[in-house]
Amino acid sequence: MNSSNRSRAWLRCAALALALAGPSCVLAKAGPDAPPLLLAQVLRGDVDVTRYWVSEKLDGARAIWDGHTLRFRSGRLVNAPDWFLAGLPPEPLDGELWIGRGRFDELSGIVRRKQARDEDWRRVKYMIFEQPDGAGSFSERIERLRGIVARAGVPWLQAVEQFRVADRPALQAKLDEVVAGRGEGLMLHRADAPYLTGRSDVLLKLKPLLDSEATVIAHLPGQGRLSGMMGALRVETAAGVRFEIGTGFSDAVRRDPPPVGTLVTFQYRELTKDGVPRFASYLRRREAF
């Protein structure tokens, strides 16, 4: 694909994502203690990627440390062990609780538990990528984050690797490498950006497939090998589009599917002329952390 076609493809992906989500799309209900956060837009074809720092998009649970308390993006407290919290510095931090690529379900089970298990939390890392209310440019904040991690000196606090790319082909090559290793995609943060909150083009995401959320409205029974289990989910998007998701499930999920009313994340390639996602595949429950 040449650069012109690739640019058009990125623009089409952004438009599809917006069309599917609809104007009333809400990913998770924020509680009264929810902190303001910077949220990403989809990378469009007219962006100069050389102005951005690039990092891997981690498959974890976003968590914000205010210097004393660790909370999910919803504002709910993270029930982390005392030793885990004691190792964090007094400075505010923004990052992801993470275990590794393709292990979101495992991570989710650990961090949602009301009683933290030390043996589980020994596997969790707090991967930081931003300094809330930090002064200066993002480039300057990166350097401060690296210093914070070095001074803390604990293995569970790490800075997300940030790097630069020379051009679009180099960005695409890095995306291909990450996806081949079961990573989700890439994040791009503009190097000269001050600290901002809200949805902004200073933070962009790039993934090989589009993803969105929908609410489970029914379970459809399985047949043949899947007899006695869930065969597919009937779901509805915030824009009111109803369709079925029949792939992407493990047998464990088919035996204990997301309840009706649950928000789930799915991947897809494109929309039909009626707005229905093509090749929709289940990814995970959309946890209201």
Give the DSSP H or E segment for 231: strand 230-236
Q: What is the mean pLDDT of residues 64-72?
A: 96
Query: Residues with Cβ < 8 Å from 52, sequence gap 6 or more?
Result: 164, 188, 189, 190, 191, 204
Helices and strands in the chain, H and E counts: 7, 16
Residue 167 and residue 72 share a domain = yes
Residue 108 lies in a domain: yes
Q: Which of 206, 230, 265 is the last residue of a domain?
A: 206
Q: Which two tokens stand for residue 46?
A: 């007219």
Q: What is the mean pLDDT of residues 187-193?
A: 97
Q: Which of 168, 183, 206 is the last residue of a domain?
A: 206
The dihedral through the CA atoms of 214, 215, 220, 224 has a sign that is: positive
Residue 145 and residue 257 share a domain = no
Percent of the chain with pLDDT strictly greater than 70: 88
Confidence of residue 34 (pLDDT cuts 50, 70, 90): confident
Q: CA-CA distance, 36 to 73, in Å (whole number)?
A: 8
Q: What is the mean pLDDT of residues 72-83?
A: 94
Residue 130 and residue 100 share a domain = yes
Residue 255 and residue 168 share a domain = no
Residue 273 a catalytic site member:
no
Q: Which CATH number fits the domain that encloses residue 70?
A: 3.30.470.30
Confidence of residue 28 (pLDDT cuts 50, 70, 90): very low
Residue 40's CB is within 10 A of a number of other CB atoms, namely 17
Q: What is the pLDDT of residue 18?
A: 45
Write the burial class of residue 179 (CB in 10 Å: 0-12 exposed, 13-18 middle, 19+ buried): middle
Q: What is the pLDDT of residue 230?
A: 96
Q: What is the mean pLDDT of residues 135-160?
A: 98
pTM score: 0.71
Model confidence pLDDT, tens digit, residues 236-245: 998 999 999 9
Residue 193 and residue 88 share a domain = yes
Q: Of these residues, 57, 174, 205, 273, which one is catalytic?
A: 57
Q: Check residues 174 and 19 and name the one with the higher pLDDT.
A: 174
Confidence of residue 210 (pLDDT cuts 50, 70, 90): confident
Residue 181 and residue 277 share a domain = no
Q: What is the pLDDT of residue 288?
A: 61
Residue 167 and residue 50 share a domain = yes
Q: Check residues 77 and 32 and name the one with the higher pLDDT.
A: 77
Q: What is the mean pLDDT of residues 34-52?
A: 89
Q: What is the mean pLDDT of residues 67-96?
A: 96
Q: Which of 206, 224, 258 is the last residue of a domain?
A: 206
Q: What is the pLDDT of residue 9?
A: 45
Q: CA-CA distance, 25 to 104, in Å (whole number)?
A: 23
Domain, as residue range, for 99: 31-206
CB 99 within 8 A of CB 124: yes
Q: What is the pLDDT of residue 285?
A: 87
Q: What is the mean pLDDT of residues 31-60?
A: 88
